[in-house]
């Protein structure tokens, strides 16, 4: 089969299109003929070595397709079923062997591209606003990268809860996308100090929560944008990892809360994965949650897709067409 692999950590140039054997499945796995795969910053962190992986490595942490075969211990899935999965690598290939409990059937109204695009970012947005900081009506939230895949989904979920949502974006075009998703204000961080803007919008009080996927270049401003007892949720490193933070800074700025969560811990068992993946897919099927897929690429162009997402010029979700 055709697959993207890297044999050493580095830039996009380490990604190679290779012909490798179709993976053998173990008793608790299913073999999926992959039709589409989602592109995420997580893939980049694995490629550049920020998140360590065994080498050689087939990246791609979410995909969708059709089950070809099931392992001997699999009783809930059968060949021919359209499915999606996340939190297991191997999606940038024509076939993937995936643990059955990390696989969810796709509703009829959700196509393969949408199935490959929604799970990782959709379930991330879900845990961010329901588990990490349980947002409620009347809260004020700041969402960084509001025109990105997770940002657009998180804005919609927060608005459905009655939250006032401010967001940061880099261009007027991205501001329009964020506001179309429901953002009350879109702050052009390239032109404005976003922390000052949030304080002005809140009559000096600040936000209850800041959802920050950018990291190194924004975390200080994020702390400054919070009100006393507010929470900074660092869930990404688009601009680089955040350096160590002196806990006394949290005291000085108003007894703030700081957390660095990960999706993997929120879907660490079959029941959690099934419940949250099904909720997100049903929202997409019912159009309650609108998914924006900006661009699709052939398998051979995974490196270009990663260059594009690293440039931070993209909006919504990028998807790889496999078959």
Domains, in order of start, for the chain: 2-120+267-321 (3.90.180.10), 122-263 (3.40.50.720)
201/164 Cα distance (integer angstroms):
11
* Helix (H), strand (E), coil (C) string for 228-270: EEEEEEECCCCCCCCCCCCHHHHHHCCCCEEECCCHHHHCCCH
DSSP string, 269-313: SHHHHHHHHHHHHHHHHTTSS---EEEEEEGGGHHHHHHHHHTT-
- Give the CA count within 13 Å in the CB-facing half-sphere of 297: 19
> How far lies 51's CA from each of 9, 40, 58, 217, in Å?
10, 13, 14, 20
Number of H helices, E strands in the chain: 10, 15
**Number of neighbours of residue 244 by Cβ within 10 angstroms:** 5
33/30 Cα distance (integer angstroms):
10
Which two tokens mark 170? 């880099």
Identify the CA nearest to 35 among candidates 280, 296, 281: 296
Q: Which residue has the tokens 């004020």?
A: 140
Which two tokens mark 151? 């940002």
244/310 Cα distance (integer angstroms):
24
55/51 Cα distance (integer angstroms):
12
> Which residues in the chain land under pLDDT 70?
none
Query: What pLDDT is recorded for position 73?
Result: 94
The whole model's pTM is what?
0.94
Q: Which residue has the tokens 């990892």?
A: 241
Query: What pLDDT is recorded for position 314?
Result: 87
Which two tokens mark 143? 């969402």
Residue pair 125/153 in contact (Cβ under 8 Å)? The answer is: yes
Identify the CA nearest to 117 among candidates 75, 63, 168: 63
Query: What pLDDT is recorded for position 313?
Result: 79
Q: In 142-246, where does DSSP find H-type helix?
A: 149-160, 172-180, 194-201, 219-224
Q: List residues bridging with 207 in a β-sheet.
A: 226
Q: List residues bridging with 96 in a β-sheet.
A: 32
Indicate the DSSP class of residue 180.
Answer: H
323/318 Cα distance (integer angstroms):
16
């Amino acid at each position: 089969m055709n697959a993207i692999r890297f044999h050493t950590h580095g830039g996009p140039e380490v990604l190679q299109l290779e012909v490798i054997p179709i993976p053998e499945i173990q008793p608790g796995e299913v073999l999926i003929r992959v039709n589409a795969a989602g592109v995420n910053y997580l893939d980049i962190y694995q490629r550049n070595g920020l998140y360590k992986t065994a080498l050689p490595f087939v990246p791609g942490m979410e995909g969708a397709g059709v089950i070809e075969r099931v392992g001997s211990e699999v009783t809930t899935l059968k060949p021919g079923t359209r499915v999606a999965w996340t939190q297991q690598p191997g999606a940038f290939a024509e076939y993937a062997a995936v643990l059955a409990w990390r696989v969810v059937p796709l509703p009829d109204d959700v196509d393969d591209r949408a199935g490959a695009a929604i799970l990782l970012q959709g379930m991330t947005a879900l845990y961010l606003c329901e588990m990490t900081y349980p947002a409620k009506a009347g809260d004020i939230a700041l969402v960084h990268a509001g025109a990105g895949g997770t940002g657009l989904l998180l804005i919609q979920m927060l608005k459905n809860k009655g939250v006032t949502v401010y967001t940061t974006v880099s261009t007027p075009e991205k501001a329009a996308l964020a506001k179309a998703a429901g953002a009350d204000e879109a702050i052009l961080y390239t032109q404005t100090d976003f922390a000052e803007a949030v304080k002005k919008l809140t009559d000096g009080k600040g936000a209850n929560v800041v959802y920050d996927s950018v990291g190194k270049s924004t975390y200080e401003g994020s702390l400054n944008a919070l009100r006393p007892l507010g929470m900074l949720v660092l869930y990404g490193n688009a601009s680089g990892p955040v350096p160590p933070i002196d806990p006394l800074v949290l005291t000085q700025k108003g007894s703030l809360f700081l957390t660095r969560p990960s999706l993997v811990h929120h879907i660490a068992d079959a029941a959690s994965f099934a419940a949250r993946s099904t909720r997100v897919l049903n929202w997409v099927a019912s159009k309650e949650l609108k998914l924006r897929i900006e661009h699709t690429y052939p398998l051979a162009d995974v490196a270009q897709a990663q260059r594009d997402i690293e440039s931070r010029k993209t909006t919504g979700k990028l998807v790889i067409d496999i078959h």
